[in-house]
């Protein structure tokens, strides 16, 4: 059996596959800020819970998930505390030894805010708009407005004016 024009067909197929692969590729630094935001949101919403090292109830409706051997973010360890009834709105994420900075996660134009726990960052818009990012001695802490209202009202002024 002969093919009339195998080379052009093969080139067309290669071009189509190449375009698809380029769209899925991350950059040399391991991805974009948007990829990191997605990883954070997948982590706090439960996507990686099955591979956690520890899952526990800590009382008053709060739960805690801990990853030390295979953290879902580029870091040494990750801990999520959340309200078991409204997990996507009320969570606290601690990242120990992150391979990323608070500024890179907060994005361009993030507002610097003062809190009782030190200086923090508030992303302007985007999927982390309702999150406060704090630096800790071990790394970073991200906390939602919902969690602050429930557990740490002293941080609430950091959410005003935005």
Q: Which two tokens stand for residue 21?
A: 């692969």
Give the total number of structural domains in the chain.
Answer: 1
Q: What is the torsional sign of CA 88, 156, 63, 74? A: positive
Range of the domain at 117: 32-159
Percent of the chain with pLDDT strictly greater than 70: 78
Report the DSSP beta bridge partners of residue 22: none
**Is 25 contained in some domain?**
no
Percent of the chain with pLDDT strictly greater than 90: 75
Question: CA-CA distance, 97 to 65, in Å (whole number)?
Answer: 17
The model's pTM: 0.79
Q: Do the Cβ atoms of 83 and 91 come closer than 8 Å?
A: yes
Q: Is the pLDDT of residue 108 over 80?
A: yes
Give tens-digit pLDDT for 23-42. 333 333 345 667 999 999 99
Q: Is the pLDDT of residue 13 over 50?
A: no
**Is 26 contained in some domain?**
no
Compute φ and ψ for 58, nearest 5 degrees: -110, 5
Q: Provide the H-helix boundaries in the chain.
A: 6-24, 33-45, 102-106, 145-151
Q: Is the pLDDT of residue 142 over 60?
A: yes
**Is 47 contained in some domain?**
yes
């Amino acid at each position: 059996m002969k093919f009339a024009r195998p080379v052009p067909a093969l080139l067309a197929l290669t071009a189509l596959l190449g375009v698809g692969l380029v769209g899925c590729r991350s950059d040399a630094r391991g991805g974009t800020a948007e990829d990191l935001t997605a990883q954070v949101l997948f982590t706090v919403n439960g996507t990686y819970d099955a591979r956690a090292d520890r899952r526990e109830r800590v009382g008053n409706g709060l739960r805690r998930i801990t990853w030390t051997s295979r953290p879902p973010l580029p870091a040494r360890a990750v801990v999520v505390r959340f309200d078991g009834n409204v997990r996507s709105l009320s969570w606290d994420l601690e990242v120990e030894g992150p391979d990323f900075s608070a500024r890179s996660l907060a994005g361009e134009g993030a507002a610097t805010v003062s809190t009782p726990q030190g200086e923090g960052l508030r992303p302007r818009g985007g999927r982390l708009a309702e999150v406060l990012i704090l630096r800790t001695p071990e790394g970073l802490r991200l906390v939602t407005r919902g969690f602050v209202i429930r557990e740490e009202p002293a941080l609430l002024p950091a959410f005003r004016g935005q």
